[in-house]
Amino acid sequence: MTRLDTVIERLKAQRSCLNAAAEMLRGRAGHILELGLGNGRTYDHLRHLFPVQDIYVFDREVASHPDCRPDEAHLFLGMMPDTLFTAADRLGPNAKLVHADIGYGDAAATARNVAALGPVIPTLMVSGGLAICDQSLDGISGLTPVPLPADVAPGRYYIFRRD
Amino acid sequence: MTRLDTVIERLKAQRSCLNAAAEMLRGRAGHILELGLGNGRTYDHLRHLFPVQDIYVFDREVASHPDCRPDEAHLFLGMMPDTLFTAADRLGPNAKLVHADIGYGDAAATARNVAALGPVIPTLMVSGGLAICDQSLDGISGLTPVPLPADVAPGRYYIFRRD
């Protein structure tokens, strides 16, 4: 499996998990948190799936396509987890969905990022809300794994429910 | 169709075209040119498809995964089309495959890039060689469109044959 194969599988798994979450969360109140705007592709997908909900985005800077940018009121610019703590204060534990694409190419850096951000994620979420992540959040207090959609290979992407 | 949908379709189309080209070019002599290294995903796929051939890479800088980097002898660093002219001198018209992912988010910048690079591409290619491109190279002297693989939607990716 080449890196081209891997990214295609990863993006398909991400999309399947987000689509499944939208079904599971239909009719629930709560806003959406997108950890990492990047070029705005996933943000674009989220606003299509959740056209009415507030979507708050976290990143160090805005480097997305010009047409995939949240307004300032929905943007937390700076280093995570600092901005996550700020959001926990301002928004409370009211997110029904958190999407966190927080892996790096480097495994050690990824582990440090998961250790820094993972425990903060449930403090932002409403009970019954879902966290979709490219990394396992297993063992983080307040989160329980949810079975993946049938077309997502185990370990490719992850879904957790806030207890 | 969201930007997430679009990138998945584009990467799948890119992979299908490269895989089809490897079949069509089986047994032919010639090296491979990769215009744009980026994070090295496509380079990784190309070296899997063409394990014996020389793969020469063109980019302004090396920003790929550490395990997806060509050695210096296979790297043309600098602005295209300058480096393409250099390669035409050094390598001659001996590429059996050129992969060119040369579009930007901005349509006008993409058009300028295609106008600058497109006409140089056939000067690097062996007769019967293939150019796989994310942009149409229609109308460029020396290149004729090739039918796409069945799973690639028209306009998603392009294949041209050197006359």
Report whether A149 contacts A16 (CB < 8 A). yes
Q: Read off the pTM.
A: 0.92
Residue A3 distance to chain B (closest CA, Å) = 5
Q: Report helix, strand or coil for B21.
A: helix
CA A10, CA A132: separation in Å to the nearest integer? 13
pLDDT of residue B82: 96
Residue B154 distance to chain A (closest CA, Å) = 20
Give how many domains chain B has, as a whole number. 1
Contact with chain A for residue B63, Cβ under 8 A = no
The CATH number of residue A143's host domain is 3.40.50.150
pLDDT of residue B149: 97
**Inter-chain Cβ pairs, chain A and chain B, closer than 8 A:** 58
Enclosing domain of residue B52: 3-162
Q: Across-strand partners of A98?
A: A33, A131
Tell me which residue of B67, B27, B75, B10 sits closest to A107, measured CA to CA.
Answer: B67
Cβ within 8 Å, pair A12-B8: yes
Q: Report helix, strand or coil for A84.
A: helix
What are the residue ranges in chain A where pLDDT is below 50? none
CA A62, CA A39: separation in Å to the nearest integer? 8
Contact with chain A for residue B109, Cβ under 8 A = no
CA A12, CA A151: separation in Å to the nearest integer? 9
- For residue B14, the chain A residue with the least C-alpha distance is A4
Report whether A55 contacts A31 (CB < 8 A). yes
What are the residue ranges in chain B where pLDDT is below 70? none
pLDDT of residue A125: 98
pLDDT of residue B163: 95
**Which ipTM was obtained for this model?**
0.95
Cβ within 8 Å, pair A2-B41: yes
Q: Across-strand partners of A160?
A: A131, A145
Task: Report angle CA B82, B91, B24 to the nearest 5 degrees.
Answer: 105
**A66 vs B contacts (CB less than 8 Å):** 105
Cβ within 8 Å, pair A4-B105: no
